[in-house]
Amino acid sequence: MKIRQLSIPLPAPVIALFGTLLLLAMMWSTHAAASDCPDLLRHSFPSLQKNQPQDLCQYQGKVILVVNTASFCGYTNQYGGLEALNRKYREQGLVVLGFPSNDFGGQEPGNSKQIADFCRLTYSVEFPMLAKSHVVGEQRNAFYAELERRTSKKPSWNFHKYLIDHTGTRVMSFESAVAPDDKRLLKSLHELLDARKKTIRMI
């Protein structure tokens, strides 16, 4: 015996109501996600490769290593170490963010394509890179201004590093000479990754 399934058309006002409720739910979800984003990460910058806006809130809940980079610096070989960190720890919640800047010694004179090609072809960089900007001085980007305010430390040269915890509230500063594999940096990184792991377990 076959059971026929009856298809009862819904009145137009009911369909409209469902549509409105769905739209409101989506808007609330987007608003909730934005409101959860730490103040420190509420910035957007063009990506280096495609020049498309990149909202830093997409990295909320991650441990973030922020580095101002340059292609013709004595510390440029740190790109290799940064990419090694990216590949080793990204599954554990690390994001490395590169901010090319020509603020120090004119050591990043190229355009976006030149910088991107250099990073990819020379060091196989896969971590996110943002478009070239100022990281010191009156024209510094707003993100770096906030990092400086929170740490009372500003970059004095290329490859200065800021390490941000997964809550976006704790920020540590490391001078350019502190290489990506430096024990001091790795110790702090492991502590922040462990704290993130504990938070995830409690959820």
CATH of the domain at 104: 3.40.30.10
d(CA 57, CA 168): 10
In a domain, 15, yes or no: no
The Cα-based distances of 43 to 46, 50, 54, 57 in angstroms read: 11, 18, 8, 7
The Cα-based distances of 152 to 49, 107, 126, 171 in angstroms read: 31, 25, 30, 10
Q: How many domains does the chain have?
A: 1
In a domain, 12, yes or no: no
Average pLDDT over residues 57-63: 98
Average pLDDT over residues 168-197: 98
Containing domain of residue 62, as a range? 39-202
Per DSSP, 171 falls in state E
In a domain, 166, yes or no: yes
In a domain, 180, yes or no: yes
What are the tens digits of pLDDT across the range 146-166? 999 999 999 999 999 999 999
Through-space distance between the first and last CA atoms of the chain, rounded to whole angstroms: 49
- Residue 172's DSSP bridge partners are 163
Burial class of residue 38, CB neighbours in 10 A (0-12, 13-18, 19+): middle
Q: How confident is the model at residue 202 (pLDDT cuts 50, 70, 90)?
A: confident
The DSSP annotation for 59-124 comes to GTTSEEEEEEE-SSSTTTTHHHHHHHHHHHHGGGTEEEEEEE--TTTT---S-HHHHHHHHHHHH-
In a domain, 1, yes or no: no
Tokens of 60: 């909320």
**The pLDDT value given to residue 25:** 47
In a domain, 21, yes or no: no
In a domain, 109, yes or no: yes
In a domain, 7, yes or no: no
Round the CA-based radius of gyration of the chain to a whole number and report it.
22
The H-or-E segment that residue 35 falls in is: helix 12-36
What are the tens digits of pLDDT across the range 95-118? 999 999 999 999 999 999 999 999
119 catalytic, yes or no? no
Closest-CA residue to 69 (of 101, 103, 111):
101
Contact (Cβ atoms closer than 8 angstroms) between residue 93 and residue 164: no
